[in-house]
Each structure stands twice: as structure tokens, then as C-alpha cells.
Chains A and B, each alone.
Chain A
Amino acid sequence: MKRAWATFVCGVSLLTTFDAFAWERVKAELRPGVRVVRETEETLIVQAPEVERVIVLSRSRDADCDIRVDLRWRRGGTPYRVWEATPTLKRALPLPIWGRFFSVRFLKVLRRP
């Protein structure tokens, strides 16, 4: 029984180790030249060359931001992370400009408003 518990504890530790913080996942999908202006636990602000407006990503549900990072769940499965573009971003920047910030792969998983 001790061995089973030890396996479980080790497994959970492994999961948390591999469960990279959300910003690391986004930062890996930034286009070359895109600069991280500000990074906190709740917010990430990125700026692309020759684009005046920055894009604000937030994990807080109350924040006014361009891309919201949230957790979603459907019964019968495990929760998963979603990346949602807000109407603010849609109004502020046309879709082709988003591609100057993020990779095609990120734009594919980014939910549109």
C-alpha cells in the first residue's frame, strides 16, 4: 500500500512539473521579434514590431483584456485550458494583424468572439 501511495505522489509531482504555466505556452507561440512588455501571474502584455497597439492576455475573468485564458470542463472528461479572443481585440485589431503576434498553431486554438 505504501508503494501505491508513493507512486501516486510521484505521479502528481510529475504532472505538476510537466504542467507548464500558461504564459510559457503562449510565449512559445510568439512570432520572432514579438516582445513581452509586461508579465505578471495574471497578465501578459505583448507587442509586435510595427504595430502600435499591444495585446493584453489575462487569466482573470473580471479583467478587461484582449485574450482571456480560462479553464473549462464538461462532465465525463477532465478540465482543459481555453484561449478566447474577446470582442475588444476584434474591434481593435483586424484578424491578419493577430498573425503578426502569434503562430498559426496558436491562432488555430484561439477561440473567436
Chain B
Amino acid sequence: MRLVTSMAWASCVTFVMSVANASPLTDFSAEYAFMRIDRVRVADETRTPKFYRHTLTLQAGIDGFTFGLIGVRTDRGAETPAEPESGLMLSLGYSAPISDWLLWEARARVPLTPHTNERSPLYAADADLLGKVVAFAPDGWGPLNLAVSPSLSAGAMVNRFGRLQLFFGAGLWWKGLGVYATGLTSLRGIENPLALGPEDVGGWAAVENRLVTLSVSYDLDLGMQHRLRFEARKNIPLSNAGNDTVGVLTYRFFFDAEIAP
């Protein structure tokens, strides 16, 4: 947690310094995501709860840095009345190409108003620190004007309860249409969530899990400065995970049309 806080402060200072130096914003984005879970694989059992999560993310970018505010609200549907849970987080990140075929990304999230019950399965702060490397082919595969852009990614994320997760992904992008598959596994965590005791700090946020995520996205460029992204994601739970179905709509405005790394 100390590491996350230090990173957050470092990014804050960088952000403030950039603004103070009148560095222009490079982009701004607003993203709405809706997630639905109705089947969960826990300790070799399949359960059918109802979970819904609404997430709104506002983000400003200055060169490689991003500074964002994330609002989350979860509920369990009309069938199982329960108090909706909500939370507000601050997100700070950095991403940039480091060579002709490698891009790296780091991101941290810090709860501002942690009203969410951390023992809830939908506890929002599930990825407090994330690092990832993406390998890409800048020319793509195929003819210049019809090239398919492949990418491979690998990374790790750790949350405040020390659950470390590794993920590996592959994707293809062609003329705005992207298809991606990502596998995720935790290296350590609570093995049996059905036997969670009061001493198990973190509750579901510390459960050991494995899953595969499939996603499809479409980027619609409205001129050089506006972009809309539609995305649909589906989780295939392998162990201690849900069948999350996620729909995401992102609007991004680019102050600078492109960044030359």
C-alpha cells in the first residue's frame, strides 16, 4: 500500500508540475462501463447470483501520463434487495512506446471514498497497481493499406491485500475492429472462498482465481480529434471467478491528434 501511495503522490506531483509548466493536455476521455454477472464458479461449484456494476471513468492525459477519476456503483438487482455499494477512486497511469515494437504501461488506483465493503465479491479496488508490456507490429501483417495489427501483452497486477495476478493476452486489430483474448491467473490468494473466515483480510478481493476474457472492440474515428470506442467483454471463469459480461462505451478527445514517441 505504501508503494501505491508513493506512486500516486509521484504521479500527482508530475501532473501538477506539467500543468504548472503549461504543458498542453494531449487527450481527455469519458468512459461508461456496465457489468453483469449471473454465474460464478467458486471452489468447483457453480452459483447463480445477480450482480451489476456501473463504472464511470473520466481521464485526462498529458503526454504519457493519465490522471483519472473513477466512480463505481454496484447492486444485486431487484431480486435480492441489498444496499447498493459505491466508491470513488483516483487513477494515475503512464504508458509510452519504448521501442519500435514494445509499449509499456503502469497504472495505480487509490480509493478516495471507499464506501464499498471490502468483503463484497464486487469490491471495486481489485487492481490497485498494474504493470504491463505490449508487443506490437507497427507495420502490421499484409498489404500496407489493409494490414492487420497483431499484439501480445503480458503483465501483473497486485491489489491492496497482496493478491498477485498475472495475465497474458493476444489481439488482432484491423481497420478499427479489434479482437482480443486474455488469460489471467493469481499467484497467491485465498483458495477456498466458501470458507472465508473473519481473519481472512480482504474477503473476495483476496481470493485466488483464474479466468479467460474474450473481447471485441470497434474504434470509430470522427475526424482526427474525436474517437468513440464500443467494446464488449465476456469472462470465462475457470476458478473462483464470474461470467462477467461487460459493455463499454468510451469517448476520447485528442488535443494533439497524435503523439510521436
Contacts and interface: CB of A to CB of B under 8 A. Distances in A.
Interface of A: 1, 4, 7-8, 11-12, 15-16, 18-20, 22, 25, 29, 61, 70-82, 105-106, 108-109
B145 interface: yes
Contact of B139 (A72, A81, A106, A108): A81
B68 to A, nearest CB: 12
B247 interface: no
Contacts of B257: 74
A79 B254 CA distance: 15
Contacts of B183: 4
Interface residues of B, number: 44
A11 to B, nearest CB: 4
14 contacts: A8-B154, A16-B101, A61-B260, A71-B138, A71-B260, A72-B258, A72-B260, A73-B260, A74-B259, A75-B29, A75-B254, A78-B151, A80-B140, A105-B144
Contact of B145 (A12, A19, A74, A109): A109
A75 B252 contact: yes
Main secondary structure of the interface of A (DSSP, over half): mixed
B194 interface: no
Given A72-B259, A109-B145, A77 B219 contact: yes
A104 to B, nearest CB: 9
Contacts of B136: 15, 78-79
B258 A25 contact: no
B223 interface: no
Given A76-B250, A80-B149, A105-B144, A19 B260 contact: no
Contact of A75 (B27, B134, B135, B145): B27
A80 B144 CA distance: 11
A75 B259 CA distance: 8
A78 B149 contact: yes
Contacts of B152: 8, 11-12, 15
Given A19-B101, A72-B259, A73-B259, A25 B151 contact: no
Contacts of B81: none
B163 to A, nearest CB: 16
Contacts of B61: 75
Contact of B144 (A16, A19, A109): A109
A14 B71 CA distance: 40
B137 A19 contact: yes
